[in-house]
Chains A and B, each alone.
Chain A
Amino acid sequence: MVAIIGVGHSKFGNRRDVSIPELAWEAIKPALDTANIEQKDIDFFVIGTAGVWSSEAAVAPLIAEYAKLEPAGSMRVEAACATGSAAIRVGYTAIKSGEADVVLILGIEKMQESTNPIVIELIGRFGNFFWEFENFGLTFPAYYALYATAYMAKYNASEEDFARVAVKNHFYGARNPYAQFQKEITIEQALNSPYISWPFKLFDCSPITDGASAVIMVSDDKVKEWKIDERVFILSQGVGTGTANLSKRDNFTSLKSAVYAAEIAYRKAGIDIDNPCKYLDGANVHDCFTSAEIIAYEDLRFAKRGEGVELIREEQTYIGGKIPVNVDGGLKAKGHPIGATGVSQAVEAYKQLLNKAEKGRQIDVVNGKYLTHNIGGTGHYAYVTIYGLER
């Protein structure tokens, strides 16, 4: 068993007020404090950062120097937008294997060290470079819009349905002091925003964000030795990979990598794959774009194929519904600092399960299980993780 015993989270948004290591420290310090440990207790640390838009390349040593983590072992990992979950994966497996007992995971991204056009240029290259980007100029919204169009056509969903996801996630972003956007929006506002990549408009897209998040993970032996009460366990994790080119996939209404990862995660956690909502109190899913949240409902089996859109129409993913989803604002309103997102989801799982979420966005903890779904690239990397209060 691997447990999370401490968490830290910076404010997400435009963080040009701090440098990369200063931003990292905003997440590391509260993580050390809540875990009640010192740097010397950490025997391994993992830095998740995609970082092509920011100045520093040797990020792990930079942060080791600033936060006094050396000489403990470390590495930097990258799995596009699932970088944070990949960092958790490394720490999780290091502890499970017995190679480490106390691990710090930091996800960090400072996207706003570059201008918006440069970031748009760079993210477009997270598909297949030659056959998609170089020749046809795909952007990140464009990749996901290809899925949105196919979903709309197959299941009669509308741009208004997608807007409902934005409205929900902004509703909860408004209740999360760490979110980039802390303002509620209306369906009309979302529908009247300019097109980015049809059918996506501005409010269908997650923003360009700076942010850092951190967790302290330990072995069960340490939980017992240190007599830690405030902790959540990682019950299971499923990981999947998709093709580089979209054209090598056989449909555009589901992410095969996510379906694969979910099946593994459910099976390992003993969750009935046909009715996961019965076991889970809530979830964070990868809503880099609004339609992606709806497709995630189906890939995770919160709804049958084609019925994910009904969940949002009926407000079943608000608190009090069938399963609350992204009640921290999601990538959409909380922001999406690439490397920090997966770790931020873990922070959210910890806060929700331990009843530490802010007023107006705390779910009811009944089953003591929470799911996170983090997708990298255009479905290239999928990480589904189940967290629980009990071993």
Chain B
Amino acid sequence: MEFEKAIEKNIEEFGFPVIIDEKSGALQWVDLREMNIRYLVSIENIMPFFEGLREGKLLATRCRDCGEIFFPPQKDCPTCKDSNMEWIELAKEGVLETLTVVFVRPPSFSNYDPYTVAIAKLDDGVRITAWLKGDPKKVKPGQRVKVEISKRKEGYLMYELIPIEG
């Protein structure tokens, strides 16, 4: 906001939308053609994944010909070069392989407290990336975890990893 005010003031005083950069002392033109970008990502062909979340299940696709499981789910099997897929539920448990706690967050995640991102290898061999619930200091790679479907702050469903006690 202070930035906006400074620009307004400088348009009035100097006649242009300019500011002086604090670090370098160099004069900057402030672009007034601000733009908001929001993408439309097609999920038409992986709709069952989202229906699965609604039923409390984490789903992936499996090629009926070669048996490969795809997560993130794929519509096509590049090995068999066909699209003969079935939807299957992934294992509900697995092993934590790595984690990090994101302190400096993107502005679009500023409504969240620092969060833990983890990768787990589920018991069917499929790896997933998700947030890890609970105190990250209490877990290490090798920890058993389970998958839980939960509701996020914005009100829609996601999947999380939760350490299994004991």
Contacts and interface: CB of A to CB of B under 8 A. Distances in A.
A178 interface: no
Interface string B40-64: 0100000000000000000000000
Interface of A: 14-17, 55, 117-118, 120-121, 124, 128-139, 141-142, 145-150, 153-154, 194-200, 245-249, 252
B105 interface: yes
Contact of A17 (B24, B39, B140): B24
Q: What 9 A-B pairs are tightest by C-beta distance, nearest first? A: A145-B100, A137-B109, A198-B101, A150-B98, A17-B26, A247-B127, A153-B141, A121-B106, A16-B21
8 contacts: A16-B24, A55-B31, A141-B102, A149-B98, A150-B141, A196-B103, A196-B104, A247-B119
A130 B72 CA distance: 10
Contacts of B127: 247-249
A131 B97 contact: no
Contact of A247 (B129, B131, B158): B129
A138 B103 contact: no
Nearest to A138: B117
B105 A139 contact: yes
Contacts of A247: 71, 119, 127-129
A244 to B, nearest CB: 9
Contacts of B97: 150, 252
Given A136-B129, A252-B97, A149 B102 contact: no
A14 B25 CA distance: 11
Interface of B: 21, 23-24, 26, 28, 31, 39, 41, 71-72, 97-109, 112, 115, 117, 119, 127-131, 136, 140-142, 158
Given A14-B23, A130-B72, A136-B117, 4 more contacts: A131-B129, A137-B117, A246-B119, A252-B119
A198 B136 CA distance: 10
Contacts of B98: 146-147, 149-150, 153, 252
A143 to B, nearest CB: 8
A124 B102 CA distance: 11
A196 to B, nearest CB: 5
A197 B104 contact: yes
Given A142-B100, A145-B100, A136 B24 contact: no
| Residue in B21, B101, B115 whose Cβ sees the most chain A Cβ within 10 Å | B101
Nearest to A144: B100
A197 B26 contact: no
A137 B21 contact: no
Contacts of A131: 72, 129
B28 A16 contact: yes
A147 B72 CA distance: 20
Contacts of B115: 136-137
B91 to A, nearest CB: 14
Nearest to B3: A115
A198 B103 contact: yes
Contact of A138 (B71, B102, B140, B158): B102
A363 to B, nearest CB: 33
B112 A137 contact: yes
A146 B41 contact: no
Contact of A130 (B26, B28, B41, B142): B41
Contacts of A141: 100, 102, 104
Nearest to A210: B24
Contact of A153 (B28, B39, B106, B140): B140
